[in-house]
Structure 1
Amino acid sequence: MKRWVLCANHTEPVKGFLGRYLRRKLIEIEIERNIRNNDLVKIIDWIPKTWHHLNSFLETHSSSDVTIGPRLFLPCPMDVEGSRVWFMDLWNYSLVPYILEAVREGLQMYGKRTPWEDPSKWVLDTYPWSSATLPQESPALLQLRPEDVGYESCTSTKEATTSKHIPQTDTEGDPLMNMLMKLQEAANYSSTQSCDSESTSHHEDILDSSLESTL
């Protein structure tokens, strides 16, 4: 009998899988070429950190159900220039569109929970490729702007909770006043019933007198 084991992206063995896989590929290339490239080592160390950072962003603005698996990052080429072009395409055409859609749905479902921090800023701040080696015609990394997901117009979780809560008036919050109001309502109701009863009895007496005079 086959059994499926569900492994979350933020726990082992999945969490460390990407780093182990890329390092193994790097070691194989180093053995094959008999050379060690320190720039490539930095890139291979950076890729899993970027993956974890993006998933943390998704969990913050949506949920762990929409986090990204390691599969997209496995084809990373084992050379500096090739990995740069590969990551640029992956970021602009796969990661950013998916993240924007996932966060947009998360905001609609959960509301704003934390201040907006564009993950592309972290990517650019920690970018492992030297700017001196980048061609001038190289496309820029797309940013994830809050207006692209409707962040500013979205209600925060705290505001949504407050709006659903109906504040009590002073009388509603005072149990003694509530009891007095109920007693007054009961007294008014009894008085009304008594008046109705007396009016009905008086009306019946008039009818009886009219009948007797007629007879």
Structure 2
Amino acid sequence: MTRSNPTANILQYESTIWSTADLLRGCGIKESEWPSYMMPFFALVMIESRLLRMFDELKAELGEDTLFEIEPDDLSELIQDKGQGYNVYIFEKSQTLKDICQNDKAFDIDFDAYLKGFDGETRDLLGVDAFEGEKYLDIKGAIATLKGKKVLFSYVKEWSGIDLKPFNNSDITTLEEHIKRRWADISADTAGEQYTPDDVIALIAEIIASKIEDSDRLLKIYDCTCGG
């Protein structure tokens, strides 16, 4: 019997993800700006899929009936102990991004609450509360622009249909690398930027790590040219 290839299956989403750019093109957003709109939403669906997989694992571990008998505060602590983040809407209201997109009338309020329902670290990663001028993921800025162009609901709905839950982190990383290469191609055409291969990134990380002494102190490294 021939086994299916998970990586091949997940790459079917590459064209779906790129089709979200049709809305960006249609509302007048320049191609050079597409990555700044696509990156935060791609990160969003990746994070949600990871949380849903983790929740399913927790159900299997404890039993679904037992899990839903746990008090919200205890459930929150139990999930956050997994170290993969938290979202009030997903875990306490059983609402995913796709569920929110079922009601266009309540969408603005629900989507805002959904984003603010993430833990602080995840909100920082996505740029939910980003200040003007902050770089990398700025979902707040993307939302403001898309709302002004009256395509926010349609754009989010496109992303909500991308279900990465069946795939593990390795599969999703493969998809991410394919998408990032195309983003890099756009950047290279418009700003002279080039894609840095994973093996080069890994080597740089190893060199940096070799210079760091063991310590209980929290260490933060800032690299202003690290890209994604």
- Compute the TM-score of the two structures, normalised by the length of structure 2: 0.28
Larger Rg: 1
Larger relative contact order (Cα-Cα within 8 Å, sequence gap ≥ 6): 2
TM-score when normalising by structure 1: 0.29
